C-alpha cells in the first residue's frame, strides 16, 4: 500500500514537472514578423511606424525583411542615425533580398534602408521588443538567423 502511494506521488511530481516545461515552451515561442506585411521592405511602401505599432513584438522574435536585392538592403543603426538617416556607421548590415533578424534582447532596434535617399523617403522602422532576454538555448538553435542586439543609446560622436 505504501509503495502504491509513493508511486502516485512520483507520477504527480512528474506530471507537474511536464506541465511546467510545457508552460515554459508556450510562453516563449518565438514569432516571426514580416516587416511591412505583404508588401515587405519597399520604397513607397506601407507606413512602417504604423505597421510596427500594430504588432506586439517580443525579445526572441524574428523580423523577416523581404525586398528586391538589387534595389534595397537593411541596416541596423543607432537612434541618432535613424532620425538623421545616416548610413555611414551601421551596427549591422544585411543584404540579399531576404533576411531573418532575431531581436535577441528587449529594447529598441532601429532599421533603415542603406540606399541613398530611401530612408528619408520612408524606408525606416523602429521596433520595440518587449519581455525578457531570450535564453542561450533559444539563440543557439538559430544559427541561420542574424542575431541583433538593441542599439546602444545614447550615442555621442
Ligand atoms: Cu531601399
Q: Is residue 124 situated within a structural domain?
A: yes
Cell of 3: 509503495
Instruction: Decide: 140 and 63 in contact? Cβ < 8 Å.
Output: no
| Partners of 110 in beta bridges | 77, 126
Domain that includes residue 10, residue range: 1-30
Q: Is residue 56 situated within a structural domain?
A: yes
Q: Is residue 156 situated within a structural domain?
A: no
Ligand 1 centroid to Cα of residue 121, in Å, is 9
pLDDT at 29: 73
Cell of 48: 512602417
Instruction: Decide: 101 and 148 in contact? Cβ < 8 Å.
Output: yes
Cell of 64: 523577416
Ligand 1 centroid to Cα of residue 37, in Å, is 16
Q: Is residue 153 situated within a structural domain?
A: no
36 and 86 together in one domain: yes
1 and 65 together in one domain: no
- Name the more confident of 90 and 23: 90
112 and 59 together in one domain: yes
Going from the C-alpha of 50 to that of each of 47, 53, 95, the distances in angstroms are: 5, 5, 24
pLDDT tens digits along 97-140: 999 999 988 999 999 999 999 999 999 999 999 987 655 555 55
* DSSP assignment string, 93-109: EE-SSEEEEEE-SSEEE
**Into how many domains does the chain fold?**
2
pLDDT at 80: 96
Ligand 1 centroid to Cα of residue 64, in Å, is 15
26 and 45 together in one domain: no
Q: Is residue 92 situated within a structural domain?
A: yes
Ligand 1 centroid to Cα of residue 16, in Å, is 51
141 and 73 together in one domain: yes
Q: Is residue 108 situated within a structural domain?
A: yes
**Residue 147 confidence (pLDDT) above 70:** yes
40 and 25 together in one domain: no
55 and 129 together in one domain: yes
Ligand 1 centroid to Cα of residue 12, in Å, is 57
Amino acid at each position: 500500500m505504501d509503495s502504491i502511494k509513493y508511486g502516485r506521488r512520483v507520477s504527480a511530481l512528474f506530471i507537474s514537472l511536464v506541465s511546467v516545461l510545457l508552460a515554459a515552451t508556450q510562453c516563449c515561442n518565438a514569432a516571426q514578423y514580416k516587416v511591412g506585411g505583404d508588401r515587405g521592405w519597399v520604397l513607397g511602401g506601407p507606413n512602417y511606424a504604423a505597421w510596427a505599432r500594430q504588432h506586439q513584438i517580443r525579445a526572441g522574435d524574428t523580423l523577416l525583411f523581404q525586398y528586391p536585392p538589387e534595389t534595397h538592403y537593411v541596416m541596423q543603426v543607432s537612434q541618432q542615425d535613424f532620425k538623421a538617416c545616416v548610413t555611414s556607421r551601421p551596427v549591422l548590415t544585411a543584404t540579399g533580398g531576404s533576411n531573418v533578424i532575431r531581436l535577441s534582447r528587449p529594447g529598441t532596434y532601429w532599421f533603415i534602408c542603406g540606399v541613398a535617399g530611401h530612408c528619408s523617403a520612408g524606408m525606416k522602422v523602429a521596433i520595440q521588443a518587449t519581455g525578457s532576454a531570450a535564453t542561450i538555448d533559444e539563440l543557439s538553435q538559430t544559427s541561420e538567423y542574424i542575431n541583433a542586439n538593441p542599439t546602444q543609446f545614447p550615442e555621442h560622436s
